[in-house]
């Protein structure tokens, strides 16, 4: 028996028995053993009907793929050159826009979050049905620029002190 055969089968529970061994054995025989027999029969039926555990199907093969990027400002998009031509119509249909300044397809943040999620899900389903794979990832965070000033103890020139302004 495998673990998937036991799922959904009611397990027999225990009972309280008296101190007298003969009466306790009679109650176990009358009340517990029939439940065990029913559970065992149910597990054997499941094993006969479903010998192997259920498996989720593998993802369909894709001919082309591209990556949609979730940018820190909330825009979801992809560089125009990376998007297969067959995907353009689907992206336009799902309200993606071509931004010439960015040379990218973008789903702007002007739509409410719930609507954007529905549009993105619709685009993913339609593209997958066409055999176009879509990867979704966050944009890599940019590293802060290196500091131009060095600490004084590392030999950086110290700022010349200015004399206090003369009072008039």
Q: Rounded to a whole number, what is the largest CA-CA distance in the chain?
A: 114
Place of tokens 């029913």: 38
Closest CA relative to residue 137, chosen from 57, 73, 77 = 77
Q: How far apart are CA 41 and CA 37, in angstroms?
A: 6
pTM of the model: 0.52
How confident is the prediction along the chain (168 residues), in pLDDT tens digits per residue? 787 788 888 888 888 889 999 999 999 999 999 999 999 999 899 888 887 876 778 777 888 999 999 988 889 999 999 999 999 999 999 999 999 998 999 998 999 989 999 999 999 999 998 999 999 898 876 666 666 555 554 555 555 555 556 555
Would you kindly state where each structural domain of the chain is located, as residue ranges? 3-49, 64-138
Fold for 64-138, please state it: Alpha-Beta Plaits (3.30.70)
Measured at the alpha carbon of residue 58, what is the angle toward residues 52 and 59, in degrees to the nearest 5? 160
Measured in whole angstroms, the distance separating CA 45 from the mean position of its chain's CA atoms is 36
């Amino acid at each position: 028996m495998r673990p998937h055969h036991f799922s959904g089968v009611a397990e027999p529970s225990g009972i309280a028995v008296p101190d007298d061994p003969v009466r306790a054995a009679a109650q176990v025989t009358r009340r517990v053993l029939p439940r065990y027999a029913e559970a065992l029969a149910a597990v054997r039926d499941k094993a006969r009907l479903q010998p192997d555990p259920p498996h989720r199907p593998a993802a369909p093969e894709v001919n082309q793929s591209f990556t949609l990027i979730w940018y820190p400002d909330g825009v979801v998009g992809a560089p125009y050159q990376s998007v297969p031509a067959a995907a353009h119509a689907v992206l336009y249909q799902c309200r993606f826009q071509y931004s010439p300044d960015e040379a990218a397809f973008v789903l702007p943040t002007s739509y409410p979050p719930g609507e954007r999620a529905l549009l993105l899900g619709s685009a993913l389903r339609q593209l997958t049905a066409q055999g176009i794979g879509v990867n979704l990832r966050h944009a890599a965070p940019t590293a802060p620029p290196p500091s131009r000033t060095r600490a004084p103890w590392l030999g950086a020139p110290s700022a010349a002190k200015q004399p206090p302004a003369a009072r008039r």
